[in-house]
Structure 1
């Protein structure tokens, strides 16, 4: 893959937005520094100004006051159209042009800034591959021929087309079903491992913020910053009751969003393919020492879970045998995603897949529960240490009060 442009720093200085007829500002005097190459999530209640703040970064909404600097350059006074060509932008429901093919949608900005045709064609193929869509299959399709998840992938590819250092994402996964949203989140994490862009991402979903963010900005009304910190710091030490309300109950379980499937043991599992004879599959199951075997399709993607009884009833055909694989996770999925998939499937395991959906292994319930217990134990130890520190501080304060000024013990 060609060398890509990595992320840029973003500085917001006294950023303000006022609308005529409103008594107060919609965004009031926001100051923030975002590091190059990090994912920062804006989260807050509806109407707090998070999307308005995001859109002022690429000046889709013009600021009333303040400054925006990208890599030290003040972009407040430059041509906003040129600015938007340098800042990727992805929105909910993808926002693709329905009369353009996938390739035409992706190549829009490169064509506008004068890239040669050969470079554009190469970039379109590269990006389709990057977001997990086969270029040969999707190049000439129209948006109406795509699923919601596929449209969102194309939307991300279009936002990345001109290789911008900054990517703004305004609730990009909010309009798809939960399983597709999980996979799109995993895809974004994988992409970021490769691209190292600066990503500013708006969501109303705190679990999504924990999963994706290097840091999270919890915003009050008018985009006042309640807390700007790492997900772990916000979960374990919320700044006040307002932030605690976003964290909600079960902070320890929410921390499962901080650990990835790649961080735990992925076990191998006996597998067979559709091309294997039924008798060979039966022999493989009998010799595996397990009660089931995983059937892979011709692209080595998980297809069905087969049990011994299924094979006995198959009578030479696998068409009606077994249970279809209902969900999978990638190595970039969180342990919470894996736990939900295991509980949904109700069979104690979930298959782990690669970027093309190919089988890589299995994560089981025992591994996941051990991780949950470790997190809970860590929280208990942290809480105990916190109480001990508080008791020591109180004892020191009491001792100081008893001694009085100059270390003289009071009568």
Structure 2
């Protein structure tokens, strides 16, 4: 009978007066930080370079030993336990993946399960499961070495390795900082999808506020020495920054930044007409004539978006699809934000972007009209919120003026 495992969901994390002081330094690197992170929550640390956010993260799994304070994971004080055992219970993913170059992908992922004494079959099954989970074909990738992977593929393997022993907590230190913007967007989407399935507790460090908005259930905006300037939801920070320091991170265009809070799956997708590369050319002509549209989407044999085909393209194709149409350069997933979709649409003169599923398969299309409607809704919501806040302020001022005019004992002053 095959062995069954129960997936570990997230664990709560409590930081209590956590500090780090390095010898010879006049000021602590991290000074008296207290914070509660709920089980299954994604919390993002964002702040300027050198503010102590990575140091705070590394103290959670004691890669850096605290000078003072307490760390509790699911109520257990982990400050005094064996740090090696602790790290086996806490997944850790870093920038540039940090894979061992002399090990295959499978060996890299299997590292912690092997160290904790898992049986070989369980390890092998886990490697297959995780490669599939992060969107890499096990048959194609398990035997490769890191140098044979792209940057995005290495990061996926890095996340798989961090999840290998099914830890309740996942720490991520700028994991997507070294890849190109398009790959970074897709990796962010992948992490969001994984979190929907796994419900881990994720603590994520970034210097990119847009990334923080996209990924975080809550964001901790940190000043120097990891002092917390504001710890709240992305919506609350965007609409009501605590002070000028936080406003500096939000920057201009808060309404547009709020497009990072809405996912493609939350808006209506168009069901675009599609054909596959196996469809005969005459049938495609007939399809175009019958559909009443001037354009169709050509899918490859795995139903992934391949080319946009217009009538004029087919007329010039002379019986072949090889030279016809425009290659699909960019797609978005259902977990992409509306900001991702807007950027993709703006780079495409035709004003639309294809939406894909977990394995790149076609799902639908989001167009400029849908996105602009969403922008207008957000702007209107911001306008109404500002009017309401102004009205409350005016009422408070009127009330204060009334009290001042009444004077002591409720007697109106002459």
Structure 1 length-normalised TM:
0.99
- Which segment drifts farther, 141-150 or 200-209? 141-150
1:252 to partner: Cα distance? 0.3
Give the alignment of 1:84-103 within 5 angstroms: 84-103=87-106
Q: State how far apart, in whole Å, the 1-side matches of 2:271 and 2:111 are.
A: 44
Once the two structures are overlaid, the 10-residue window that deviates more, 390-399 or 284-293, is 284-293
Q: How far does the alpha carbon of each residue in 1:231-267 deviate from its partner, in whole angstroms, 9 at most, with x for none?
A: 0000000000000000000000000000000110011
Deviation at 1:345, TM superposition (A): 1.5
* SS across alignment from 1:244: helix
Q: Structure 2: how far apart are the matches of 1:402 and 1:300? A: 74
Query: Quick check: 1:128–1:134 contact (8 Å CA) kept in 2?
Result: yes
Could you give the per-residue CA deviations for residues 203-252 of structure 1, whole angstroms, max 9, x where no partner exists?
A: 00000000000000000000000000000000000000000000000000
Instruction: Please point out which of 339, 353, 360 is paired with 2:342.
Output: 339
Secondary structure in 1 matching 2:347:
helix
How far did residue 127 of structure 1 move?
0.4
Residue in 2 aligned with 1:24? 27
Q: Which of 354, 367, 370 is 2:370 aligned to?
A: 367
Gaps of 5+ in 1: none
1:410 paired with 2:408, answer no
SS for the counterpart of 1:372 is helix
Q: Secondary structure of 1:243's partner?
A: helix
CA contact (8 A) 1:326 1:345 kept: no
Q: Distance in 2 between matches of 1:325 and 1:12?
A: 47
Structure 1 residue 278: deviation in Å? 1.1
1:167 is displaced (CA, Å) by 0.1
Query: C-alpha displacement at 1:281, in angstroms?
Result: 1.2
CA distance in 1, matches of 2:30, 2:12: 21
Q: Deviations over 1:121-176 (max 9, x none)?
A: 11001001100111111111111111111110000000000000000000000000
Structure 2 Cα separation of the partners of residues 146 and 346 of structure 1: 32
Q: Any idea what SS the aligned residue of 2:167 has?
A: coil
CA distance in 1, matches of 2:79, 2:281: 67
The whole-number CA distance in structure 1 between the counterparts of 2:151 and 2:284 is 36
Shift in Å at residue 346 of structure 1?
2.1
- Does the C-alpha gap of structure 1 residues 173 and 57 become closer, same or farther in structure 2, counting only changes over 3 Å? same
TM-score normalised to structure 2 length: 0.98
How many equivalent residue pairs? 411
- Tell me if structure 2 keeps the 8 A contact 1:262–1:331: yes
8 Å Cα contact 1:8/1:36 also seen in 2: yes
**Distance in 1 separating the partners of 2:362 and 2:146:** 29
SS at match of 1:107: helix
Deviation at 1:187, TM superposition (A): 0.4
* DSSP-derived class of the 1:33 partner: strand
Residues 92-143 of structure 1: per-residue CA shift (max 9 Å, x gap): 0000011111100000000000000010011001001100111111111111
**Unaligned runs of at least 5 residues, structure 2:** none
SS at match of 1:11: strand
Q: Summarize the Cα distance change of 1:375–1:2 in structure 2 as closer, same or farther, 3 Å threshold.
A: farther
Q: What's the secondary structure of 2:359's corresponding residue?
A: coil
Distance 1:283 1:386 in 2: 58
Alignment of structure 1 residues 126-275 onto 2, 5 Å: 126-275=129-278
**CA RMSD, Structure 1 to Structure 2 (Å):** 1.2
Moved more, 312-321 or 349-358: 312-321
Counterparts of 1:250 and 1:270, CA distance in 2: 35
Give the Cα–Cα distance (whole angstroms) in 2 for the partners of residues 292 and 143 of structure 1. Answer: 41
State the 1:2 CA deviation: 11
Distance 2:86 2:297 in 1: 50
